[in-house]
Amino acid sequence: MSIKTIKRIALILAICLASSLLLPLTALGSSTASDLVLIDPYDYFTSEEKVAIEDNVRKLPETYRYLITPVTQDNYDIKADARKIFANRNFSQDTIFILMYSGARELYITTGDSLRQKKLDDQFFDQELEAYFIPIVVAGGTVAQALIELTNGISRDIPGRIDTGKNEITIPEPPDNNEQTTPGTPGDDGKKFDSWVAVASLVALALIIFLTGIIIYNRKRSNAD
């Protein structure tokens, strides 16, 4: 085998290796969706409103995530959808997730089981909506302003709510084993990313060993001739 042939093989293998390494980067791009504060794929908010919402959240001690999207089906259940998205995006248990279906003008707030057991339940979040969100919208304010005030109100009221219910024992809700991953909501991308990295590393190591062996073999043949 000539040196030119070896170089061509090395170039082809390098291209294949680069392509295989790009696959885990794609998986990583999906998994980092859970790190976004505000997901607004249809630009319901203006760029200025998005910045204001995100800047406000960064000043608060809690973790908040927002998803603003139209309704994708007629027989939707925003409560069930929010909890599925919460699980599929691997939000931490202390995350407060706000889902808003813009077309239906519905909003639902949920959090992890640990905080729900501390009385951050539907009753609490419904009271927060009535106290902070609805009055601003009724008075003619923007949804972005109402969302910011709602978030700030939740942050202010959480300590008192947890202190009030800390001695109460709440039976956790049983997990719904029938829940399935909804389209467009990444669930196990983080685990898939780790698997891709391991496979890509093994492939790269095998290619390096293979190319090194070919080069050494051909050099020995050349020296022998």
Please list the residues that pair with 122 across neighbouring strands: none
Instruction: Give the domain extent around 25.
Output: 3-29+190-219
Answer whether residue 224 shows pLDDT above 80. no
Same domain membership, residue 117 and residue 42: yes
Cβ contact 78:108 at 8 Å? yes
C-beta neighbour count of 159 within 10 angstroms: 10
Q: Which of 34, 146, 181, 42 is nearest to 103 (CA)?
A: 42
From residue 116, give the alpha-carbon distance in Å to each of 26, 75, 85, 91, 142: 34, 26, 16, 14, 29
pLDDT single digits (tens) 88-134: 999 999 999 999 999 888 999 999 998 999 999 999 999 999 999 99
Same domain membership, residue 51 and residue 22: no
Please check whether residue 77 lies inside any domain of the structure.
Answer: yes
Same domain membership, residue 22 and residue 48: no
Please check whether residue 202 lies inside any domain of the structure.
Answer: yes
Same domain membership, residue 16 and residue 79: no
52, burial (CB in 10 Å: exposed 0-12, middle 13-18, buried 19+): middle
Report strand pairing: 38-39 vs 63-69.
parallel
Same domain membership, residue 163 and residue 53: yes
Please check whether residue 41 lies inside any domain of the structure.
Answer: yes
pLDDT single digits (tens) 141-157: 999 999 999 999 999 99
Give the type of residue at 19: S
CATH number at residue 101: 3.10.310.50
